[in-house]
Structure 1
């Protein structure tokens, strides 16, 4: 297994990360136990999940994946320090998650506590924003004309990002999360979070998790270039 730095975090993670979004829908607890054991045997030390999982997202599957991982952790507490555990706060648009509202300082604090309970652990290694409050060219919205960026209020979004960073900072200071990351964001989003963190002495984003495939190659080369020069793991 090969390992890479997780941006500026000081943590090395396996190049293969164990995704978990089917646990609780397509996969059972016993399936997950078997897959985790196999991954660890191969040198995988990186597990990614989200409060929104399992998928397809629904009120019935919400939080199920974190619960499955938590059940495994409760039976394997001696292995907790061997695993870099990443999870995410859901963004807006899901009516069964905080009434579909935006990510805010307060919802970050509440969501972290809820994830910790489901995961049966007292800290999260990497806590990510699953998608921004504003619309971005992800989830099939990458085609020209789909988004009107001129409709976005720059000052409102910057204030929202600062509010979120302040919530993350509370959780970092409390020892509930170690590092923060983005997901489904853009070069503008990265730059705003980095500049706000530097200006206000708040947690620095260390990574971004975006979709990438032959059908979704929009991050190459501009976002990738920024990640390299800003020391953001992609």
Structure 2
């Protein structure tokens, strides 16, 4: 009977938490829809445009903070706040490097979060996973080599060549640690983030003169990546709390 009660409790908890999580995510969907409705990239740089662009990611930071607390400021919530800072910087083209620095710090915070105890129970490795790590690093290195001639033609090659190289290192590290967690949402979020940034680099450094719906692809994949990482982090926390509950029931 005790086992049946525990299973029923688990089902109720999963159903209730899923419904509550969806309600918490409504501001994200509403603010993202507003961003695409106003289509901020075509508007003049302004405080309003910066606020509209950053609002979806800030709403995700609020969700993570609500579930995990202030300690997540050194993890995914902090990464989301830094990403919002990057969003604001990229509204003004002359702040591109500062924006890239904000996103680099975000990837570092995500990486630190993926190394915490919430993910440790899922973090065993296998030959297949090591092969996937190798593919990630080879692909990232290949992308950087592909971009290198265009970086050298940029207005400040002495800055962009090492800066983009360092950024590529941090984002592939984040994606590798996301894969290490073995949590599908987190892994997919890391990979989609790489796709978003690669698409942005193709356009910003004039690798392609014109990419149909290029800005739409960048922002859709960007918001999707942040959503997946945030939900994955919340679910990892709920799973950890569930394990603690089972331990308490057995004691």
TM-score by length of 2: 0.26
Q: State the structure with more CA Rg.
A: 2
TM-score by length of 1: 0.27
